[in-house]
Amino acid sequence: MTERAISKVAVIGTGVIGASWVSNFLAQGLSVGATDPADGAEARLRAAVDAHWPALTEIGLAPGADRGRLTFHPTPEAAAEGVDLVQENGPERVATKRTLFAALDEAAPADAIVATSTSTIMVSEFQDACTRHPERVVLAHPFNPPHLIPLVEVGGGSATAPEVVARAIEFYRAIGKHPIHLKREARGHVSNRLQIALWKEAFHIVQSGIASVEDVDAAIAHGPGLRWALLGPFLNIHLSGGPGGIRGLLEGPLGAATTGMFGELGQPTMDQALIDQLSEGVAEELAAHDVEAMIETRNRLLVELVRDKAAARVLP
Ligand SMILES: NC(=O)c1ccc[n+]([C@@H]2O[C@H](COP(=O)([O-])OP(=O)(O)OC[C@H]3O[C@@H](n4cnc5c(N)ncnc54)[C@H](O)[C@@H]3O)[C@@H](O)[C@H]2O)c1
């Protein structure tokens, strides 16, 4: 595969994630060809881009950033014509991904990268639907909302060429994302596996009566979550470990006491009673709050945090 600069991208599926990617790519000065078969999809997409634009302007638009660089196409094939990279964000079903990737394989230029945002499907489950160029199919899993959250998890399936993964990582880094490399496929990738591990114990804590929904939320949002927004689990252990750092902590009594608790973590039963308990707990937490205002405030604080964190430069 020859190297090509990435200036024109296709976004396939413009729901929650696709629309956010479109905004992100436009803000980075790229041309975007989008498609989505839903009624009214183009109008919804343009409204979403307009809604995202003030935050992207605050974060900083790249030279050439222009909402006029968005075109909308009737089919994935038309959107993928002549592009340098495809970002697929269709429904989370293997059969749909297979159909879409077979079409994109035919339509995208041979040297274009074809990426999927899938959260739970592995590239190897649909890559063989690409009979021409399976080697350029990669995972590029963002975190919602992708126009604000820097993380992108990048990896390949069994037939992906390592140099395509490397090019994809380079591309996402160049447009201001923070890519991480998956050395092998794992369902749920990395960040969602970590989230799910936390959810599992959070559900167990509520179900077994250790603490309320509200207090579990507070235990993260007013506690370790504040540090986790700045540094990951290993660096947080290291910085809390005193002069010995992570080694001293893990080799010492606190490390042994903590890792000795692995077997204490619970296995919640996902029954209707637990779903009701969690839903009612969240409703109680939200009783005095306006959800739309909460989302707006969360997104505003996210923008400030991402911007301040990038400016601080001492954090990895
Ligand atoms: N929602 C999240 O938090 C999140 C985060 C990261 C990744 N993802 C992944 O992103 C993808 C999209 O998720 P979403 O949350 O945006 O879903 P969504 O339901 O909001 O959007 C899916 C869009 O795909 C469109 N669509 C249906 N058939 C299509 C087709 N044949 N071709 C093109 N588009 C088609 C739908 O009309 C819809 O607009 C999924 O693979 C999901 O796993 C989701």
Per-residue pLDDT tens over the stretch 199-251: 999 999 999 999 999 999 999 999 999 999 999 999 999 998 899 999 999 99
**For domain 8-181, which CATH number applies: 3.40.980.10, 3.40.50.2300, 3.40.50.720, 3.10.20.30?**
3.40.50.720
Which residue, by CA, sits nearest to atom 39 of ligand 1?
15
CA distances from 101 to 7, 64, 247 (A): 21, 30, 45
Distance (Å) from CA 135 to ligand 1 centroid: 23
Q: Which residue has the least CA distance to atom 28 on ligand 1?
A: 90
Cα first-last separation, the chain: 32
Pocket test for ligand 1, best of 117, 143, 152, 153 (most atoms within 8 A of CB): 117
pLDDT at 133 over 60: yes
Cα→Cα distances 268→38, 115, 210, 284, Å: 37, 35, 13, 22
Task: Specify the CATH architecture of the domain 192-312.
Answer: Orthogonal Bundle (1.10)
Name every protein residue with a CB atom under 6 angstroms from any ligand 1 atom.
12-18, 35-38, 76, 89-92, 96, 100, 117-119, 141-142, 144
115 alpha carbon – ligand 1 mean position (Å): 13
Position of tokens 């003030």? 54
pLDDT of residue 316: 86
Contact (Cβ atoms closer than 8 angstroms) between residue 52 and residue 18:
no
pLDDT of residue 34 exceeding 70, the answer is yes
Residue 25 corresponds to which amino acid?
F
Q: What is the average pLDDT across 152-158?
A: 98
* pLDDT, average across residues 149-165: 98
- Quickly state the pLDDT bin for 3 (edges 50, 70, 90): low
Q: Where are the domains of the chain?
A: 8-181, 192-312
- The Cα 223–Cα 226 span in angstroms is 6
Residue-by-residue DSSP string for 23-75: HHHHHTT-EEEEE--STTHHHHHHHHHHHHHHHHHHH-PPTT--GGGEEEESS
% of the chain beyond a pLDDT of 90: 95
